[in-house]
Amino acid sequence: MKRAASLALFCLALLAAAPARAVAPDEKLADPALEARAEALEHRLRCVVCQSESLAESDAFLAKDLRKLLRERIQAGDTDKEAVEYLVRRYGQYVLLLPRFEPATYVLWLLPGAAVLIGAAAAVFYIRRGRNAPAPAPLDDADEARLKQILDEHA
């Protein structure tokens, strides 16, 4: 009995952890090849309402409309590139989960690498500075006596 309950809980956990599929059956194309293209593109396009989800993951109304629009373009004979370009012209580059490398996005692409390089340089500078620091001056007799007195009081 315990084993069956454990198995049931495990199955529920797997179902809860599985990624949600937001594509409704009525949205799917009849042609499996076209549907496969649409699904692949959905994972490359962002839901402009949800911001951090792809079209494939989002349940937002706009995402549903974008999925339908994408399928209409594919069914009309657009190539993958043409279908994506249509959405980019209509909604801007924000609809792309992976933005293009062009002057408007240089900062987006180059800033993380620059931050790592600056951090590494700062770490090297900090470590080298610590190695080259002068040794502290030895205590004179009065300081040593005061230190011994403080340590004896707290011991």
Residue spans of the domains in the chain: they are 18-98, 104-154
pTM over 0.75: no
Which pLDDT tens digit goes with each residue over 116-154? 999 999 999 988 887 777 878 888 999 999 999 999 988
Q: Measured between alpha carbons, how far is 99 from 45 in angstroms, rounded to an integer?
A: 10
User: Please, which residues bridge with residue 54 across strands?
Assistant: 46
CB-CB contact of 23 with 35 (8 Å): no
Whether the predicted pLDDT of 21 surpasses 70: no
Name which CATH class applies to 18-98.
mainly alpha
Whether the predicted pLDDT of 19 surpasses 60: no
Q: Which two tokens mark 123?
A: 């770490």
Q: Which two tokens mark 37?
A: 């293209």
Whether the predicted pLDDT of 112 surpasses 90: yes
